[in-house]
Structure 1
Amino acid sequence: MKLTKLFAAGATALASAAVLAACGNNNSSSSANKKTLNWEESAEIPTMDLSKAIDATSFNQLNNVMEGLYRLGKNSKVENGVASKTQVSKDGKTWTFTLRNSKWSDGTPVTAKDFVYSWRRTVDPKTASQYSYLFEGIHNADKITAGKAAVNTLGVKAEGNNKLVVSLDKRIPYFKLLMGFPLFFPQQEKAVEKYGSKYGTASKYMVYNGPFKQTGWTGSNLSWNLKKNNNYWDKNAVKLDTIHYSVQKTPSTAYNLYQSNKIDAVALDAQQTKNLKHQNGFTLRPGSSTFYLQYNQKNKNLQNANLRRAISLSINRKALTNALGGANKPASSLTSTGLTKVEGQDFADKTKDTDYSQYNPAKAKKLFAQALKELGTKSVSFTILSDDTDAGQKTTETLQSQIEETLKGAKVSVQNLPFKTRLSRSTAGNFDIVVTGWGADFADPISFDDLFTSKNAQNNGKWANSEYDKLIAASKAATNDESRFNDLVKAEKILLKDQGITPLYYQTTAWLVRPSVKGIVYNAAGANYNFKGAYVSGN
């Protein structure tokens, strides 16, 4: 996701978007029509252009209106999507996909050429995709993104309309999971060329090949619909006619809409979580995501590692998670808990930082004094940027209070902006410190650790460490999991020791969803929501 998908306080690549739950006290649907679902989203959609998307809101939309070679089912089980058959060479480097007869929403066939076009468009430097690094390992992808090879040399080719052949430079352990991520879905060249710069900026500037097609999104509005796509190859498995989305940024307003049967699900804030945790339908959704502070290395003061460490040590993460509600847990690593186990141990436990990612006011004050001395100043000031959601505002308010209370001489300002605007500011490097989050695109720690290599486009703060880069590169070249995970552990420990980023919490969201709402597939990693088989049962 995930970015990233961003949730709650940050909305991400990975990392932001809404998350689900299970049942409420009121068994009636918000619509008399059992073919309609009314759903809450926490943030506006930044883009529907899969080559340019970097956040969970966009990817969750794309996951339901588009379809790739595979679709991820329950527990991230890989299921055939556009691909009806897969053959893999013995060395794991050549994948041949046989495509089923499927159509775009305009009635034209989806072909192997649509995948070739889409992948080439994403890795083309002219597109400036921040996610093109996920193509690493596909033949020539790195050279193409670096501008050192032609786009048409990418290791993907169409053999006729229904056969796609992918050539890898090396075996990729998580390749199947990647193929279920929206970044690798097809795009119709005719539509991209027809709409030009407008492509993906509104519902009408798109064509779709997934279970639904999007309508009513203008590019900036806070409500839209997903309508059943009657040209979808497996339309008989799609039970809903309409999913009506509305963006809800205030928990009290959203809960009132839920209570009055206007929406079928609601994300809960801290107080609601406490009050409703025993109600039928209360469900916690882990996000395989970590929220953290990212520092802009263009800011001279924030280049100082001791200042970053002092900031981290001044944060009471337990108090922060209590303010946010749900079941968020204080974070001491970049990689989220529960994502991957290595020799029976959670990878996050192997990398956790016990020196600086904890609350220690005395140590924070000592390091702050040392930082001021190194910087030759008696005070520092900076602004913390986050979303304009309830959780985003609570986060910045809490951080501002905690840092200023502990670090006398630190002047902290806060700025909360609409998610789309905040995301744009982050991408442009227009911030001092930003509260952001990352949700894993697939269940492997490289999905987190790859972010902070010096040349990664998602590394908005531009933190850099040559040893870190070498370890990440070594992990990708490793021929066995033991060596690969050892390199990743060493790399993440370097990041945390330097406080290149400051972990805040591992995200889990509390929701209520009506008992009549069934069949939704939720996955913590990757695109979170799959509504293909969702339905609303009778009373």
Structure 2
Amino acid sequence: MDFTMHFKTITKLGVVALGSAMLLAACGNSSSQTSRTNTLNWMSNTSVTTLDPSKAVDVTSDQVLYNSMRGLVTPDKGNKVNLAMAKNYKITNGGKTYTFNLRHSKWSNGKEVTAKDFEYGIKRSADPKTASQMGYYMNNIMNYSSIKNQTMPASMLGVKATGKYQLQIQLIKPQADFLNVLALPVFYPQLKSAVDQYGSSYGTTSDKMVYNGPFKVTNWTGSNDAWTLAKNNDYYANSNVKLKAINYSVIKDPQTALDEYQSGKLDQTLVAGKQQYNNYKNNPDLVNRKEFMIQYLSINQNRVPALKNKNLRRALSMAIDRKSMTEDILGDGSFAARGLVPDTLAYKKGKDFNDYASVKDATSTDLTQAKKLWNQGMKEVGKKSLSISIMNNNDQTNRSLTEFLQTELEKLPGLKVNAEILPNNVASGRSLKSDYDLSVSGWSPSVSDPISPLQTKVSNSPINTSKWGNSMYDMYIDRSNNQDATNPSKRFDDLVNAQKIILNDQGIIPLYQKAQPELIKENVKGIKYLGNGPVWDFANAYIKK
């Protein structure tokens, strides 16, 4: 099971179901040119739940909103952002005041997009009456805490239109990743007259919404499994938008989606499971994306006191053959993780975060050394045998992964490993209660900053279900959030040091970083892929003739 915690759903654990391996016929010619003019047919394996920016919490809704709306900034690759509705900005008051000057733009109904729309939209998201699950991203905005506790009205939030095209946001302290946070839908502008007009129906269908992004949504009734992103001629950069439309359809069965791709009805499809991946790994249409999803073994030291011994934890990690795990068990392009922070999430001077922050011994395989460490650790805890369980969910891929881990770890002398393969809701509930020995866990950040996964392991974090703790780790995370928040270089080093601490202590056992292989027609160009959140940006996509 992936006990996959999305940063946007901080109060609960979600699960990412990996596609089952399927026996397929030999590949056909899947790279034929589409005959459609400036129109793409795309698939999704889940439906849209809402178009209300204040209430969107799932990836598919974010995907649609990201392409039909524009906030102050948009996410870029790594931990960067690009200016969007903001044409420029300045940071003053010791990093606590952000002032944005806006582009002149229009809503899809022809009305101007103004700073008041941003002020209204953000305050609406902050208002407890709206019941946004994403409001906690505003924790550092002035007065949000009081608004959340309903001791102050949402109108007092530290967000204000200081001119028709100027917006100011006041923070209670500097926040290094604040620009990244502003890319999320809860910070999108919203047109008050549209919210008032549609009332409780706002955002529940595509025609009860207005848009300011590259596309507008059409043909979504609120319950159907199809919708269209149609070019929005009122978008401020509409001359750069080449596609006329992207037609989405929800296809949950991987074989059905593959059949439609091969027949030319789809321009893209997900590749699910080892067999599909092997069939298509040499196909020129295959694109293998690195997701910002790290899977690791969470070690509940309180549940198994013997695992408070560092040598035993190190032995568990070194006993796992990650090459066999990624190639033979997963077989979908996923690769061994180098830490808690995903590769490609953040960079410094052109080098990946993990080029600075990886610890080889924490992610390497050496069964001979693992047995030595295990014997040493067992002597230190005064045991000759030990029994532990690994908890995971019951989809086919995760079942195979758990059984593999069980076999690998039982190579350690005197260790008995039980596989607890449970329904997702049962396993998620137990994980939240720290009711496990080991669990296959993960984190998928919505914000492209190393602080997102690293913050989950702070001693007092409610998400730290293993209860691992280290005072130096906490100090570096605190320093990155406070005294070094306005010094990007020092802050980066703080986060590097934090990851090195948890890896050197083997506070987790990194397993793999998830990849998502997809088939995309070769003549589809200019799409920007993002490792988290909305995933696809179609603003500059086109079909090569």
TM category (shorter chain) comes to: 0.7 to 0.9
CA distance in 1 between counterparts of 2:210 and 2:203 reads 9
SS in 2 for 1:33: coil
Residue 163 (structure 1) aligned with residue 166 (structure 2): yes
Deviation sequence 1:469-527 (CA, Å, 0-9, x none): 43312112215344323432333244445655442212333333112212212234664
Could you say if the C-alpha distance between residues 400 and 118 of structure 1 is closer, same or farther in structure 2, counting changes exceeding 3 Å? Answer: farther
Deviates more, 1:140-149 or 1:259-268: 140-149
Matched, 1:316 2:316: no
8 Å contact from structure 1 (residues 16, 55) kept in 2: no
- Pairwise CA distance, 1:165: 1.3
Q: Residue 479 of structure 2 aligns with which residue?
A: 474
Equivalent residue runs for 1:268-307 within 5 Å: 268=271, 269-293=273-297, 300=303, 305=308
Question: What SS is found at the alignment partner of 2:121?
Answer: helix
The question of 1:337 aligning with 2:356 is answered no
Match of 1:114 in 2: 117
Q: Which residue of 1 aligns with 2:72?
A: 69
1:438 corresponds to 2:441: no
Post-superposition shift, 1:455?
6.2
Q: Is the 8 A contact 2:8 2:134 kept in 1?
A: no
**In structure 1, distance between residues paired with 2:421 and 2:193:** 44
State the one-letter code of the partner of 2:538: F
1:227-257 residue CA offsets vs partner (Å, 9 max, x unmatched)? 3334434444333333222344554443322
Q: Which moved more, 1:427-436 or 1:465-474?
A: 427-436
- Alpha-carbon offset, residue 213 of structure 1: 2.9
Decide whether aligned partners of structure 1 residues 283 and 2 sit closer, same or farther in structure 2, where only a CA change above 3 A counts. farther
Residue of structure 2 aligned with 1:531, choices 522, 530, 538:
538
Quick check: 1:3–1:54 contact (8 Å CA) kept in 2?
A: no
The 10-residue stretch of structure 1 (516-525 or 132-141) with the greater mean CA deviation from structure 2: 132-141
Shift of the 143–362 alpha-carbon distance from structure 1 to 2, 3 Å rule, reads farther
Aligned position for 1:154:
157
Whether 1:98 and 2:115 are equivalent positions in the alignment is no
Larger CA deviation: 138-147 vs 400-409: 138-147
Cα distance, 1:334 vs. partner?
A: 0.7
1:404–1:412: 8 Å Cα contact kept in structure 2? no
Deviations 1:142-181 (A, max 9, x none): 6655778664443310134432112344555554444334
Partner in structure 1 of residue 334 of structure 2: 328
Alignment CA distance shift 1:336-1:91 (3 Å):
same
Aligned-residue identity in percent: 37
Structure 1 segments unaligned to the other structure (5+ residues) = 18-23
Tell me the secondary structure at the aligned position of residue 489 of structure 1: helix
Alignment-mate amino acid for residue 321 of structure 1 = T
Q: State the AA in 2 paired with 1:94.
A: T
SS at match of 1:515: coil
- Residue 383 of structure 1 is matched in structure 2 by 391
1:82 to 80, 85, 95: 85
Task: Compute the TM-score of the two structures, normalised by the length of structure 1.
Answer: 0.76
Instruction: Map 1:199-278 onto structure 2 (within 5 A).
Output: 203=206, 206-217=209-220, 222-268=225-271, 269-278=273-282
Match of 1:516 in 2: 523
Write the distance in 2 (CA, Å) between the matches of 1:51 and 1:460: 28
Counterpart CA distance in 1 for 2:134 and 2:171 is 18
Q: Contact between 1:384 and 1:414, CA under 8 Å: does it hold in 2? A: yes
Check whether the contact 1:290–1:505 (CA below 8 A) recurs between aligned residues.
Answer: yes
Superposition deviation, residue 39 in structure 1: 1.3
The letter for the 2-side match of 1:406 is L
Provide, for residues 91-121 of structure 1, a one-character-per-residue CA deviation record: whole Å limited to 9, x for no partner: 5543332334434445544332332233334
Q: 1:86 to 1:276 in 2, by over 3 A?
A: same
* Equivalent runs, 1:376-525 vs 2, <5 Å: 379-381=387-389, 383-385=391-393, 393-403=396-406, 406-407=409-410, 409-415=416-422, 433=439, 435-439=441-445, 441-442=447-448, 444-453=449-458, 467-477=472-482, 478=484, 479-496=486-503, 501-524=508-531
Tell me the distance in 1 between the aligned counterparts of 2:516 and 2:431. Answer: 25
Compared with structure 1, are the counterparts of its residues 117 and 431 closer, same or farther at alpha carbon in structure 2 (3 Å cutoff)?
farther
Instruction: Tell me how far apart the structure 1 counterparts of residues 79 and 500 of structure 2 sit (CA, whole Å).
Output: 28
Question: TM-score by structure 2 length?
Answer: 0.75
Change (3 A) 1:249 1:371: farther
Alpha-carbon distance change, 250 to 127 in structure 1, aligned in 2, over 3 angstroms: same
Counterparts of 1:248 and 1:302, CA distance in 2: 46
Residue 413 of structure 1 aligns to a residue whose secondary structure is: strand
Kept after mapping to 2: 8 A contact 1:133/1:456: no
Deviation at residue 384 of structure 1 after TM alignment: 1.0
Alpha-carbon contact 1:372-1:379 (below 8 Å) kept: no
Summarize the Cα distance change of 1:527–1:441 in structure 2 as closer, same or farther, 3 Å threshold.
Answer: farther
CA 1:490–1:274 in structure 2 vs 1: closer, same or farther (change >3 Å)? Answer: same
Contact (CA 8 Å) 1:11, 1:436: kept in 2 or not? no
| Structure 2, unpaired ranges of 5+ | 20-28
Distance 1:337 1:363, change over 3 A: farther
Partner-residue secondary structure (3-state), 2:62 = helix
Equivalent-residue separation in structure 2 for 1:335 and 1:325 (angstroms):
22
Q: Which residue, out of 361, 371, 377, partners 1:362?
A: 371
1:163/1:518 CA distance change after superposition, 3 Å: same
Aligned to 2:26: none
In 2, distance between residues paired with 1:16 and 1:122? 32
* CA distance in 2 between partners of 1:457 and 1:46 (Å): 27
Change in Cα spacing, 1:205 to 1:394, as seen in structure 2 (3 Å) is farther
CA drift at 1:263: 1.1
Gap change, CA 1:204 and 1:373, over 3 Å in 2? farther
Max radius of gyration: which structure?
2
Change (3 A) 1:194 1:28: same
CA-CA distance at 1:129 after TM superposition: 5.4
* Bigger Cα displacement from structure 2, 330-339 vs 492-501: 492-501
| Equivalent position amino acid for 1:384 in 2 | N
Q: Offset at 1:67?
A: 0.9
Tell me which residue corresponds to 2:354: 348
Contact preservation (8 Å) 1:191, 1:207: yes
1:314, 1:194 → 2: CA distance?
61
Residues of 1 paired with 2:243 and 2:518: CA distance?
21
Q: Are 2:79 and 2:346, in contact at CA under 8 Å, matched by a contact in 1?
A: no
Q: Does the 8 Å CA contact 1:364/1:406 hold for their aligned counterparts?
A: no
Q: Any idea what SS the aligned residue of 2:294 has?
A: strand
Aligned partners of 1:397 and 1:414 also within 8 Å:
no
- Post-superposition shift, 1:226? 2.4
- Is the contact made by 1:95 and 1:167 (CA closer than 8 Å) also made in structure 2? yes
Is contact 1:37–1:244 with CA below 8 Å preserved after alignment?
Answer: yes
| 8 Å CA contact retained: 2:321, 2:408 | no
Shift of 1:259: 1.0
